[in-house]
Structure formats: C-alpha cells, structure tokens
C-alpha cells in the first residue's frame, strides 16, 4: 500500500518563534519532508519571524542544520534541501513593538493561503494577533496555529481564547495537540467507525475497563523550569490523554467533519465525573541508575510537582456507566510505550470449567513505538488431554501493513498540511479546551489545598507503588509497560 500525496494550495506560512526549539526540531524539518514528498506546491514559502537580527541566508543556514540533525539521513536529498531552502525567508520582528511588521506585510503575497504559526510563549499570543490585524497582514481567510500549553487553568485558557477571538474567528484558529496528528491516534477513529466488529461491543455491557498509558523514559532535564510549573496533569493529561480518552469514548459523529467530531469529543469531556481523591496517584522520580532525581532536574528541592500521575476516571453517560478508565503517564519509566487497552467482560456463561485457563479478551492499540493492534483471543491449546484454553494475539503491526513506514508523516507534518487545507478536524476547539480545564482544575486545586506530596518512584520502574494499589483495590492490574 503506497500512501497518496495530494498537493495543498500555495501558501505563505509565517513562523513566529522561527529560531526556537520547536521550529528547529519539528516544524521546519517537517515542512522539508512535505516538500520532499511533493505535497507542497513549489511556489509556497515559509517565513521565519523572530527577534534575532538575521539575514535570509543566515536563517537558511539554521534550517539546513535543523534538517541535518532531525531528518533521517535517507531523506536528506541535497537538491531537495536546496530547493526547500530557496522557499525560506526571514523577518526580524518585535512581537511587542513596531519593528519588522511593515517588512512582513511587504513580503506577504495576495491570493495565496496565509498561515501564522505562533510557536512562542502564550503571553505573546495577544500581541502578535493584535499586530497582525492592525497592520492588515492577516485577513478573514488567514489561519493561526497555536501551540500548547493553551492556558494553565480554566481562567487563563478563557483569557487566551478571548484575546484571540478579538482578531480571529474560531474557524481561523488551529489549536495544536500533536497527539491528534499521530497516525495511530487517527487510527482509533478508523478502527471504531470503519468496522462493524467492535462498535456493537463498545459499551458498558461488554467492556470491563479501559487502560490508557503514555509512558516515557526521558526525564525533565533541560526543561525542568517549565515543567515544574506544569506537572504531568497539565502537561499530558489535560490534553493528550484527554484526547485519547475522547476518541475511545465518543459517540459516532454523523460525519468525519470538524464540528461533528469535536461536538462528540466535547460531550465526553463534559460527562467526566469529578475524580475522587483516592482515585489519584501522583509520583515524582528519585535518583538512580546514574541519573539525577526530579528535584535536581527541576532545580527545586522542595518541588511537589508530579512527573507521574495515575487516575481512575468515570464517564457519566449511558454508554459508559460503571466502566472505569484508568489513565497513567509519567517520565523516567521503564520503557517508552503508549497504548490503549480495552478489556472485555467475561462471556455471560462459562461452559468450560475453571481449570480451562480462561482469560479476558483484550484489544490493545499500540500508539508508539511498534504501532499496531493486538486482539487477545482465547483458543484451544493444541493437543489431546481435554479442553485447555490459551490466549493468543491476533496481531497486526501497522508498519508491516504499509510499504514504507518512513514515509508516514510525523504528527506535525500532517497537522500543518491540514492547516493549509483548512481542515480543523484534528485541532481543538476553544470550548473543548475550556471544558478540559474545567474538569482538570478541581483535581489540581484539591491536591494543592491538601498540600499533597507526590510519592517517590525509582527511575526505570513502572511508577509509584500506590499506582499498583489503585488497580489492585478494584481487583485489576496494569498491563506491563514495555516497548
Ligand atoms: C509534549 C509534552 O506535549 O509531549 C512532553 O510537553 C512530552 O512533556 C511529549 O514528552 C510527548 O510527545 P511524544 O510525541 O514523544 O509522545
């Protein structure tokens, strides 16, 4: 199966924060890959905008280095790189002042898609939005892309929404959650809504519980100062895990259309029950294996910020009544592994005796790495000697199913092309972000008011002991975290 590349319209994409880390690691290398794949019409242009005083040539050199560092060698084609760099420009701009805006305006072309990527601190969103409209650089057809964190609580998210809404309509605002750009995450929708097999069983009557795991091996070194003000709940759960939960739990939208999909996700978020104190476990990694502890990385010896969190979440609606969703995510865990596991209930009546070795059916959707799907089913153990059962996986690796897994676009590539196409399906709507904070705020306020300290866990482990208890209490256990 070869992936089809459908070119997008000619565009001018301005990247505010063009010299920053995200632009260097993800945005610019991603754009190069789309150029290489032939998805970008050659007349399209990328304009870096940042405070530094750089010439076009000096900025191109930075982009050249970013491609060398972040694009796999096999995809580094000299002619394509030079062609791509020819599409790159740079404007030195003062986001909070007057410098550079006239030059940016002069550079923009008429009758092409204009997109503005705000890869800057959220405190600058308002300034940039205002100057774009004041200088009439953005028009009614322009799009803006904003990165997370979109606020740190409901009040700040509302304030950001309001500041953007002064200058842009909701249909022009693309709030990125890069998890939605991952192929396997989109596959959740394909698996659920393009097959008849699963949907009839997708409800409390047949599902025992759901586990959502996003485990990382990295620590917070290098970004401890930011992370310490955030923690796993704000950094991962309020956005990425919440989106995964929504895709698993939502009702079928009437069409694969931006508002139809986002309306259904919003209903899930609004149906989330408040989480009980005993259903929250927070952890912080200690030192070990020659690595420094969280408090050293965050340079805050008294830090009470969690680098791990596990939660038992309930959705208060007809479909999911009584079905727990166990969520966990953390840094410095034993393996990098993100997966969703749906455990089904026992058959209503057991015809085989207890010694047969029955296990539940589990559908495991591996998001990364080793993307794929596994359906654990029971079969008869081969051989004579009565009916003994064994659990075997119906195994599908996504990498095996596509010819060239290297050609699968990275989340950012996919999402930026969607911005140019004007497709908001995989972006968060303002009300969705606010609803997610409305659910998150009381959880964080609860532990802050109690002065809770996270439990220390060993680096390279599966997280704190209490997280195991969270499941054991319910007679269940976490799946092993492994690559
Ligand atoms: C980011 C978080 O949004 O997602 C990081 O801020 C985290 O803390 C990252 O490491 C994980 O993304 P991925 O794509 O590597 O799973």
pLDDT digits (tens, 9 = 90+) for 112-123: 999 999 999 999
Which tens digit of pLDDT belongs to each residue from 150-175?
999 999 999 999 999 999 999 999 99
Residue nearest to atom 5 of ligand 1 (CA): 235
Which tens digit of pLDDT belongs to each residue from 24-67?
999 999 999 999 999 998 899 999 999 999 999 999 999 999 99
Task: State how far the Cα of 308 lies from the Cα of 233, in Å rounded to an integer.
Answer: 8
Cis bond leading into 369, ω under 30°?
yes
Task: State how far the Cα of 271 lies from the Cα of 274, in Å rounded to an integer.
Answer: 9
| Cα torsion angle, 342, 348, 351, 355, sign | positive
Looking only at the bridges linking them, the beta strands covering 372-380 and 389-397 are antiparallel
Residue 368 alpha carbon, nearest atom of ligand 1: 16
pLDDT given at position 18: 97
> Across the strands, what pairs with 308?
283, 330
pLDDT given at position 400: 72
SS3 state at 460: coil
Min mean pLDDT across 137-146, 198-207, 382-391, 436-445 is at 382-391
pLDDT given at position 2: 42
Q: Higher confidence at residue 408 or residue 294?
A: 294
Alpha-carbon separation of residue 374 from 243, 248, 343, 366 (angstroms): 21, 16, 12, 8
pLDDT given at position 201: 96
Task: State how far the Cα of 465 lies from the Cα of 9, in Å rounded to an integer.
Answer: 53
Task: State how far the Cα of 22 lies from the Cα of 137, in Å rounded to an integer.
Answer: 24
At residue 400, φ and ψ (nearest 5 deg) are -70, -25
Residue nearest to atom 13 of ligand 1 (CA): 179
| Average pLDDT for 92-104 | 95
pTM of the model: 0.94
Which tens digit of pLDDT belongs to each residue from 141-151?
899 999 988 99
- What secondary structure does DSSP assign to 74-102, as a single string? GG--HHHHHHHHTTEEEEE--TTSSTTHH
Q: For residue 59, how far is its CA from the centre of ligand 1 (angstroms)? A: 26
Does 452 score more than 50 pLDDT?
yes
Which residue, 154, 318, 157, is CA-closest to 251? 318
DSSP-derived letter for residue 270 is: H
Does 404 score more than 80 pLDDT?
no
Residues 6+ apart with CB under 8 A from 147: 22, 118, 119, 176
Alpha-carbon separation of residue 269 from 125, 436, 442 (angstroms): 26, 6, 14
| Neighbouring C-beta atoms of residue 109, cutoff 10 Å | 12
| Average pLDDT for 112-135 | 94
Residue with tokens 């790495």: 369
pLDDT given at position 465: 96
pLDDT given at position 353: 82
Which tens digit of pLDDT belongs to each residue from 232-276?
999 999 999 999 999 999 999 999 999 999 999 999 999 999 999
Residue nearest to atom 6 of ligand 1 (CA): 235
Test site for ligand 1: of 21, 178, 182, most ligand atoms within 8 A of the Cβ? 178
Q: For residue 216, how far is its CA from the centre of ligand 1 (angstroms)? A: 9
- What secondary structure does DSSP assign to 407-450, as a single string? GSPPHHHHHHHHHHHT--TTSB-HHHHHHHHHHHHHHHHHHHHH
Which residue, 141, 148, 138, 156, is CA-closest to 175? 148
Does 406 score more than 70 pLDDT?
no
Min mean pLDDT across 140-154, 396-410, 445-459 is at 396-410
**Do residues 17 and 114 touch, judged by C-beta distance below 8 A?**
no
Q: Higher confidence at residue 176 or residue 183?
A: 176
Min mean pLDDT across 315-319, 362-366, 371-375 is at 371-375
The residue from 240, 297, 349, 472 that is catalytic is 240
Which tens digit of pLDDT belongs to each residue from 61-76?
999 999 999 999 999 9
Task: State how far the Cα of 156 lies from the Cα of 444, in Å rounded to an integer.
Answer: 15
| Neighbouring C-beta atoms of residue 69, cutoff 10 Å | 10
At residue 433, φ and ψ (nearest 5 deg) are -65, -40
Looking only at the bridges linking them, the beta strands covering 207-215 and 88-92 are unpaired
Which residue, 97, 178, 88, 53, is CA-closest to 428? 178
Residue nearest to atom 4 of ligand 1 (CA): 236
pLDDT given at position 1: 43
Q: Ligand 1: residues within 6 Å at CB?
A: 216, 235
pLDDT given at position 370: 85
Q: For residue 321, how far is its CA from the centre of ligand 1 (angstroms)? A: 31
**Do residues 464 and 281 touch, judged by C-beta distance below 8 A?**
yes
Helix axes 430-450, 154-165, angle to 10 degrees: 150
Residue 218 alpha carbon, nearest atom of ligand 1: 10
**Do residues 325 and 249 touch, judged by C-beta distance below 8 A?**
yes
Task: State how far the Cα of 28 lies from the Cα of 175, in Å rounded to an integer.
Answer: 18
Does 11 score more than 80 pLDDT?
yes
Q: Annotated catalytic, 359?
A: no
| Average pLDDT for 344-356 | 86
Task: State how far the Cα of 447 lies from the Cα of 453, in Å rounded to an integer.
Answer: 8
Q: State the pLDDT confidence band at 403, using cuts at 50, 70 and 90.
A: low
| Average pLDDT for 454-479 | 96
Looking only at the bridges linking them, the beta strands covering 372-380 and 362-368 are antiparallel
Q: State the pLDDT confidence band at 420, using cuts at 50, 70 and 90.
A: very high
Q: State the pLDDT confidence band at 104, using cuts at 50, 70 and 90.
A: very high
pLDDT given at position 183: 87
**Burial of 383 (C-beta count, 10 Å sphere; 0-12/13-18/19+):** exposed
pLDDT given at position 357: 81
Task: State how far the Cα of 235 lies from the Cα of 247, in Å rounded to an integer.
Answer: 19
Looking only at the bridges linking them, the beta strands covering 325-330 and 308-313 are antiparallel
SS3 state at 397: strand
Q: Could you tell me what percent of the chain has a pLDDT over 90?
A: 83
């Amino acid at each position: 199966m070869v992936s089809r590349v459908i070119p997008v319209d000619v565009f001018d994409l301005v990247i505010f924060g063009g010299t920053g880390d995200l632009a260097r690691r993800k945005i610019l290398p991603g754009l190069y890959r789309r150029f290489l794949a032939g998805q970008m019409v050659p007349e399209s242009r990328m304009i870096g905008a940042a405070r530094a005083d750089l010439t076009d040539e000096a900025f191109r050199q930075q982009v050249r280095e970013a491609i060398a560092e972040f694009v796999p060698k096999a995809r580094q084609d000299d002619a394509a790189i030079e062609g791509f760099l020819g599409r790159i420009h740079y404007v030195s701009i003062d986001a909070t002042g007057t410098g550079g805006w006239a030059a940016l305006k002069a550079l923009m072309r008429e009758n092409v898609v204009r997109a503005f990527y705000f890869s800057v601190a959220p405190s600058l969103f308002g300034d940039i939005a205002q100057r774009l409209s004041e200088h009439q650089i953005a028009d009614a057809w322009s799009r803006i892309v904003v990165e997370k964190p979109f606020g740190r609580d409901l009040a700040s998210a509302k304030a950001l929404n309001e500041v953007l809404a002064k200058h842009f309509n909701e249909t022009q605002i693309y709030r990125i959650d890069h998890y939605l750009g991952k192929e396997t995450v989109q596959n959740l929708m394909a698996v659920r809504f393009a097959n008849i097999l699963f949907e009839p069983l997708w409800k409390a009557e047949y599902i025992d519980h759901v586990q959502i795991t996003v485990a990382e091996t990295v620590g917070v070194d290098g970004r401890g100062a930011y992370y310490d003000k955030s923690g796993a709940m704000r950094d991962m759960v309020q956005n990425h895990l919440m989106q995964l939960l929504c895709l698993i739990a939502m009702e079928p939208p009437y069409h694969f259309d931006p508002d139809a999909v986002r309306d259904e996700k919003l209903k899930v978020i609004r149906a989330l029950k408040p989480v009980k104190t005993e259903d929250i476990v927070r952890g912080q990694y200690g030192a070990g294996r020659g690595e420094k502890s969280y408090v050293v990385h965050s340079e805050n010896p008294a830090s009470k910020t969690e680098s791990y969190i596990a939660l038992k979440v309930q959705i208060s609606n007809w479909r999911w009544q009584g079905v727990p969703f166990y969520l966990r995510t953390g840094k410095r865990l034993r393996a990098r592994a993100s997966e969703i596991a749906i455990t089904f209930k026992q058959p209503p009546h057991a015809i085989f005796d207890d010694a047969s070795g029955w296990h539940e059916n589990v559908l495991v959707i591996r998001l990364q790495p080793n993307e794929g799907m596994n359906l654990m089913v029971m079969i008869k153990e081969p051989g004579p000697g009565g009916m003994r059962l064994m659990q075997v996986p119906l195994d599908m690796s996504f990498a095996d199913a596509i010819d060239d897994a290297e050609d699968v676009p990275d989340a950012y590539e996919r999402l930026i092309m969607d911005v140019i196409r004007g497709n908001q399906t995989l972006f968060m709507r303002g009300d969705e972000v606010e609803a997610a904070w409305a659910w998150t705020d009381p959880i964080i306020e609860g532990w802050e008011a109690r002065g809770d300290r996270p439990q220390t866990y060993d680096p390279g482990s599966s997280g704190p002991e209490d997280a195991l208890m969270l499941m054991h209490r319910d007679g269940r256990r976490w799946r092993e975290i492994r690559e």
